[in-house]
């Protein structure tokens, strides 16, 4: 019995294989439709044009398009017939796109146009309809991958502005996704790839400033301070007139403060942040962010004060009175700038414990004689 079952299974598989190999001709016999070859002989093209027009008029643009694809693959056509085939192929293709774009939209079949040998503008239009529908279905990453694939095949296509808008929508929507995948990884992290692709390949898209700001925020969430600062700097460089630019300008020194873990070794960054904050206040007086910027500037002066006091105490330990006086004096000014009287008094008291500075070396009373005036 077992042997009989095995033989029956093998026979079934063999019959299935035979059916698959002859499916096109069998289907043609069952439905009455003639199988469409990949290409035609030249004498078959004119009848194919007639047949394609019939299918188109009878509401079957898919089959009409397939016949014209076969006709277009035929070599050696006379120019007039070749032009007629090309024009009819475009007409059939657009009719098929309209059919697939009607509700319910078929994004997968529209995306497949990219793999067909069709005029470029036809493929681009179909793919962008598919990408827009994928966004509507909240399949944002699939939409991004489809446009990226389109750009590889047609990097200078005529609907790049539309593609940029679709990409921007996909990236921004993913960045708002607060759920996780695999329990631990935020889905919004996937927005980085989309938005980085957008700002690099579609720099004229109107939402690029928003994309730069969102990228900076995403990197900030990861505590990747360097990349976050770079994206704010990119926003200022490429979109200085954007409403987001003033915010990014204030955010950069704030991120520098967040990135500094030890004021003793990062004083250069503190000084840079101080200069950036002071420049912002000079350029944007009375702006809404002024209060926050002043708080950051106060924090910066306090950190500079702590840095100088730490260095001054070190110089005391190594018997460098000059260094200790220099840094404690500077710390007094920084505490005053931060309006912190307690720290100011502490620095003044510290300075008072140091030996007084030696008298200044007197300047020479006479300048060196000019050449030719020497005795």
Q: Where are the domains of the chain?
A: 31-100, 103-194, 273-354
What average pLDDT does range 301-329 have in this prediction? 95
pLDDT at position 260 over 80: yes
| Residues in a beta bridge with 185 | 181
User: Phi and psi dihedrals of 34, rounded to 5?
Assistant: -75, 130
Cβ pair 223, 243 in contact under 8 A: no
What's the pLDDT band for 367 if we cut at 50, 70, 90? very low
Residue 360's alpha-carbon distances to 215, 348, 356, 363, in angstroms, are 55, 22, 12, 9
Cβ pair 132, 164 in contact under 8 A: no
Cβ pair 293, 281 in contact under 8 A: yes
Closest-CA residue to 272 (of 247, 297, 293) = 297
Query: What is the C-alpha separation between 65 and 89, in angstroms, rounded?
Result: 6
What average pLDDT does range 329-347 have in this prediction? 96
- High-pLDDT (> 70) share of the chain, %: 85
What average pLDDT does range 63-77 have in this prediction? 93
Q: How many CB atoms lie within 10 A of CB 263?
A: 20
Dihedral over Cα of 144, 148, 149, 151: its sign: positive
Cβ pair 116, 129 in contact under 8 A: no
CA-CA-CA-CA dihedral for 274, 277, 282, 284, to nearest 10: 180
What average pLDDT does range 319-334 have in this prediction? 95
Query: What is the C-alpha separation between 43 and 72, in angstroms, rounded?
Result: 13
Report the Cα 152 to chain-centroid distance in Å: 17
Query: What is the C-alpha separation between 143 and 136, in angstroms, rounded?
Result: 10
Query: What is the C-alpha separation between 331 and 317, in angstroms, rounded?
Result: 18
Q: Which helix (H) or strand (E) holds 180?
A: strand 180-181
What average pLDDT does range 27-54 have in this prediction? 75
For the full predicted model, state whether its pTM sits above 0.85. Answer: no
Query: What is the C-alpha separation between 255 and 294, in angstroms, rounded?
Result: 15
pLDDT of residue 265: 66
DSSP 260-290: -S-TTT-HHHHHHHHHHHHHHHHHSTT-TTH
Alpha helices in 182-242 (DSSP H): 191-201, 208-221, 225-238
Residue 214, C-beta contacts closer than 8 angstroms, at least 6 positions apart = 171, 172, 175, 191, 195
Alpha helices in the chain (DSSP H): 2-21, 23-31, 42-57, 61-72, 79-101, 107-111, 120-136, 140-153, 160-175, 191-201, 208-221, 225-238, 243-259, 267-283, 290-317, 321-337, 341-352
Residue 335's alpha-carbon distances to 4, 94, 127, 158, 281, in angstroms, are 96, 72, 62, 60, 19
Radius of gyration of the chain (CA): 37
pLDDT tens readout for residues 105-149: 999 999 999 999 899 999 999 999 999 999 999 999 999 999 999
What average pLDDT does range 178-189 have in this prediction? 76
For residue 185, give the 3-state DSSP assignment: strand
Residue of 349 and 368 predicted with greater confidence: 349
pLDDT at position 324 over 90: yes
Cβ pair 137, 159 in contact under 8 A: no
What average pLDDT does range 180-195 have in this prediction? 84
Cβ pair 284, 290 in contact under 8 A: yes
């Amino acid at each position: 019995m077992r042997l009989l079952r095995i033989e029956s299974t093998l026979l079934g598989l063999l019959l299935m294989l035979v059916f698959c190999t002859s499916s096109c001709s069998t289907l043609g016999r069952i439905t009455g439709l003639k199988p469409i070859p990949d290409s035609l002989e030249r004498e078959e093209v004119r009848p194919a044009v007639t047949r394609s027009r019939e299918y188109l008029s009878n509401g079957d643009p898919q089959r009409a398009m397939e016949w014209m694809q076969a006709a277009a693959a035929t070599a050696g056509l006379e120019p007039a017939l070749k032009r007629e085939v090309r024009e009819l192929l475009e007409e059939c293709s657009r009719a098929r796109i309209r059919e697939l774009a009607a509700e319910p939209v078929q994004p997968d079949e529209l995306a497949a146009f990219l793999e067909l040998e069709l005029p470029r503008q036809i493929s681009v239009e179909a793919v962008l309809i598919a990408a827009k529908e994928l966004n509507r279905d909240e399949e944002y990453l699939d939409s991004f991958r489809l446009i990226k694939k389109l750009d590889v095949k047609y990097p200078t296509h005529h609907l790049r502005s539309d593609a940029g808008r679709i990409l921007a929508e996909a990236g921004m929507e993913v960045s708002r996704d607060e759920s996780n995948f695999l329990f631990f990884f935020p889905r919004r992290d996937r927005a980085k790839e989309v938005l980085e692709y957008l700002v690099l390949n579609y720099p004229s898209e109107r939402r690029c400033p928003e994309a730069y700001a969102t990228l900076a925020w995403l990197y900030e969430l990861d505590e990747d301070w360097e990349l976050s600062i770079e994206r704010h700097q990119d926003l200022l460089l490429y979109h200085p007139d954007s409403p987001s630019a003033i915010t990014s300008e204030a955010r950069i020194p704030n991120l520098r403060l967040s990135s500094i873990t030890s004021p003793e070794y990062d004083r250069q960054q503190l000084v840079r942040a101080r200069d950036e904050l002071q420049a912002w206040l000079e350029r944007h007086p009375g702006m809404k962010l002024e209060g926050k910027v002043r708080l950051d500037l106060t924090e910066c002066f306090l950190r500079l004060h702590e840095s100088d006091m730490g260095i001054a105490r070190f110089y005391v330990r190594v018997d460098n009175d000059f260094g200790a006086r220099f840094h404690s004096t500077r710390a007094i000014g920084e505490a005053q700038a931060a309006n912190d009287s307690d720290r100011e008094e502490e620095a003044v008291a510290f300075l008072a414990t140091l030996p007084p500075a030696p008298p200044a070396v007197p300047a020479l009373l006479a300048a060196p004689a000019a050449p030719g005036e020497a005795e």
